[in-house]
């Protein structure tokens, strides 16, 4: 049985991490797919043996297109996620890649408008924001999703927050 072919967006993340970690170069993607030419926030997640190894992204576009967003966030996921040491060349063969392309965040009135499987969530209090992608292993409720977001942003449980939701297209 042949291994499942990687989607072009995930493949671009892989190519970026491998070239950057091996020799500090960036890929020059050619023949961009329609998804790559759009503008959107993008998260790049790396896993090693099924365990998170890096995840960095943007919830709104910061680059000219999704391809450039993937390149920027893939490098950050591999080298700048503060939870992990930078990826080293010996790890490259073991990494799995996923790319989440986000819809624009929309405000919601209450947790009743959320679904941890369908929507990612952003919590905001003052200038602090925390984000969590949808449908993540180990996150089994909206309340848990919000708790993680609060923790990431340093927002205490008794502080009032604004809630936003977004959807993602996940590519592997």
pLDDT in tens, 114-137: 999 999 999 999 999 999 999 999
8 A C-beta contact, residue 17 and residue 92? yes
pLDDT at 4: 76
Range 15-22 average pLDDT: 98
In order of their start, the domains of the chain are 8-102 (3.30.700.20), 106-171 (3.30.1490.150)
pLDDT at 16: 98
**Of 62, 55, 59, which Cα lies nearest the Cα of 41?**
59
Please write the tens of the pLDDT for every residue from 49-101.
999 999 999 999 999 999 999 999 999 999 999 999 999 999 999 999 999 99
Strands 51-57 and 162-166: unpaired
Spatial distance between the Cα atoms of 152 and 132, rounded to a whole number of angstroms: 9
Quote the DSSP letter at residue 26: -
Alpha carbon of residue 100 to chain centroid: 6
- Say what the pTM is: 0.93
> For residue 75, what are its two tokens?
């490098």
């Amino acid at each position: 049985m042949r291994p499942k072919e990687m989607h072009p967006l995930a493949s671009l993340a892989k190519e970026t991490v491998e070239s950057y970690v091996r020799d500090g170069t960036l890929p020059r993607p050619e023949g961009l797919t329609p998804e790559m030419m759009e503008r959107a926030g993008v998260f790049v997640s790396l896993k090693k043996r099924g365990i998170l190894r890096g995840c960095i992204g943007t919830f709104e576009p910061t680059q000219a297109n999704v391809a450039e967003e993937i390149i920027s966030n893939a490098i950050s996921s591999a080298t700048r996620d503060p939870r992990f040491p930078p990826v080293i060349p010996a790890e490259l063969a073991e990494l799995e890649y996923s790319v989440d392309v986000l819809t624009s965040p929309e405000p919601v009135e209450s947790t009743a408008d959320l679904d941890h499987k369908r929507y990612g969530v952003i919590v905001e209090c003052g200038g602090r924001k925390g984000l969590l992608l949808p449908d993540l292993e180990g996150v089994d409720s909206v309340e848990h999703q919000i708790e993680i977001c609060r923790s990431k942003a340093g927002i205490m449980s008794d502080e009032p927050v604004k809630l936003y939701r977004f959807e993602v297209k996940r590519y592997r």
